[in-house]
Amino acid sequence: KTRLAIKVDIAVIGAGQAGLSSAYHLQRLGLQPGKDFVVLDEAPQPGGAWQYRWPSLTLNTVNRVHDLPGLGFAEFAGGDGTVKASVAVPHYFAAYEEHFGLRVLRPARVSVVCDRGDRLRVESDRAVFSARGLINATGTWENPYIPEYPGAATFQGQQLHTRDYRTAEVFAGKHVLVVGGGISAIQLLDQISQVTRTTWVTRTPPRWREGPFTEEAGRKAVAMVEERVRAGLPPMAVVSVTGLPVTPAIEAMRQRGALERKPMFAEILPHGVRWPDGTELEVDVILWCTGFRSALDHLAPLQLREDSGGITMIGRLATQVARDARVHLVGYGPSASTIGANRAGGAAARELTTFLGLARSPGA
Ligand code: FAD
């Protein structure tokens, strides 16, 4: 049976950095939360995907959490950086939602968005909405990526992804194979190699970056990803462009021999892996630190993708979908960082309200 849809102008899906920034700007543009626009989030509490991060990820070990517009993070961050990101950021987002009265509906998981002519039907497990425009800010946490290797189903040990990781101690006494060349792979390898035997494999040799990460390098990295999505190509990880910072922790890993990287294996065996030259290694655990992809399955009926698998993006900060101008993706591609998501939320709110003829407040 068809459920009755609640009419709104704009539906925002996701209440992480990207969704909250979008909501803030929609409100500034004169739209009323809970009436003209609605924010839906499937997580049980405020905090976006930060609420799920492993406990040892502290404000000292994250790259940086950028402020949301209108209320700074500093007073929620504690003094010395040892506070868990999974505590501080949810605390900040909760206060933010409350301060601006953003009225996030949660837990509300959006299963599907369908085209209904001049409206979009947004189906969630809490209610169905009929919206004229959509800001999708669902991040990547819900869509972990694990590459396919022959024999994976035969492996008798344990296979996990970054998102399953809690603490290194559970691996004590086991041989852990860490797969992946990004920052998460290295951070988890660091922790696990301090309590048990590890082997590290990456597809390509890691690209180390000596010296600080300059603003210019950041801009270049973002511009490269932006160029890709404007051309309709799938975005790529920003680290592949920026290189990995050589921190004191990494120097220490190098010195104790935990950073000796091997190339990717060709095949998974019941008790280990085998390389193309026939070398075999027994392992108990394969930890796939192989990243995430944008969580966009609920948008499948809108057919936003090109044959290349990418989505062609347009607009000032490349948040608008070329194939359907009513849809903005925030926190996707070049805006997949806290600072990028923040800016993109503003651009998406302005462009979408203009497109739909909704902007009311000249002060926004
Ligand atoms: P999220 O925070 O993932 O929020 C998306 C929200 O959408 C979630 O609350 C989710 O529940 C909800 N959602 C998803 N699907 C649905 C659905 N179908 N229906 C309803 N709700 C849904 N970036 C930085 O700038 N600095 C860092 O230090 C940093 N550290 C990181 C560390 C790790 C381990 C990882 C994995 C990423 C890190 N990033 C960092 C990248 C970071 O994820 C982004 O910068 C940013 O937090 C993403 O914000 P977001 O709003 O796009 O997504």
12-37 pLDDT, tens digit per residue, is: 999 999 999 999 999 999 999 999 99
Q: Is the CB of residue 180 below 6 angstroms from any atom belonging to ligand 1?
A: no
Can you give the pLDDT at residue 78?
82
Q: Determine the angle formed by the axes of helices 17-28 and 338-355, rounding to 10 degrees.
A: 40
Give the nearest ligand 1 atom to 65 CA.
26
Which are the contacts of 100, defined by CB distance < 8 A and separation ≥ 6?
A: 23, 24, 27, 33, 70, 71
Residue 103 banded pLDDT, cuts 50, 70, 90: very high
Beta bridge partners of 224: none
No. of H helices and E strands in the chain?
A: 7, 18
SS3 label, residue 312: coil
199 token code pair = 């082997």
Q: Is the CB of residue 249 below 6 angstroms from any atom belonging to ligand 1?
A: no
Q: Is the CB of residue 61 below 6 angstroms from any atom belonging to ligand 1?
A: no
**Mean pLDDT (whole number) for 250-271:** 96
Across the chain, which distance is largest between two alpha carbons, in Å?
68
Q: Is the CB of residue 63 below 6 angstroms from any atom belonging to ligand 1?
A: yes
Is the pLDDT at 116 greater than 60? The verdict is: yes
Identify the weakest region by mean pLDDT among 229-243, 255-269, 328-342: 229-243
Closest listed residue to residue 96, CA positions, set 17, 35, 30? 17
Instruction: Choose the residue to mutate in 39, 89, 141 for probing ligand 1, maximizing ligand atoms within 8 Å of C-beta.
Output: 141
Can you give the pLDDT at residue 364?
47
What is the C-alpha to C-alpha distance for residues 231 and 307, in angstroms, rounded to an integer?
12
CA of 73 to the centre of ligand 1 (A): 16
Can you give the pLDDT at residue 2?
67
35 token code pair = 């009436």
Which residue in this structure is represented by tokens 């790259």? 63
Closest listed residue to residue 293, CA positions, set 135, 145, 111? 145
Which CA distances in Å does 343 have to 17, 71, 111, 119, 350? 10, 14, 27, 26, 11
Which residue in this structure is represented by tokens 């102008």? 9
**Mean pLDDT (whole number) for 40-57:** 97
Closest listed residue to residue 333, CA positions, set 315, 351, 353? 315
Is the separation of the CB atoms in 150 and 268 below 8 Å?
Answer: yes
* 177-235: pLDDT as tens digits: 999 999 999 999 999 999 999 999 999 999 888 777 788 888 888 999 999 999 999 99
364 token code pair = 């926004």
Mean pLDDT estimate for the chain: 94
Instruction: Choose the residue to mutate in 328, 337, 343 for probing ligand 1, maximizing ligand atoms within 8 Å of C-beta.
Output: 337
Of the chain, the end-to-end C-alpha distance in Å amounts to: 41
Can you give the pLDDT at residue 209?
84
The protein residue whose alpha carbon is closest to atom 44 in ligand 1 is 337
Residue 149 banded pLDDT, cuts 50, 70, 90: very high
Q: Is the CB of residue 187 below 6 angstroms from any atom belonging to ligand 1?
A: no
Is the separation of the CB atoms in 229 and 334 below 8 Å?
Answer: yes
The ipTM of this complex is 0.98
Q: Is the CB of residue 59 below 6 angstroms from any atom belonging to ligand 1?
A: no
The torsion region of residue 299 among left (phi > 0), alpha (psi -120 to 50) and beta comes to alpha
Give the nearest ligand 1 atom to 47 CA.
9
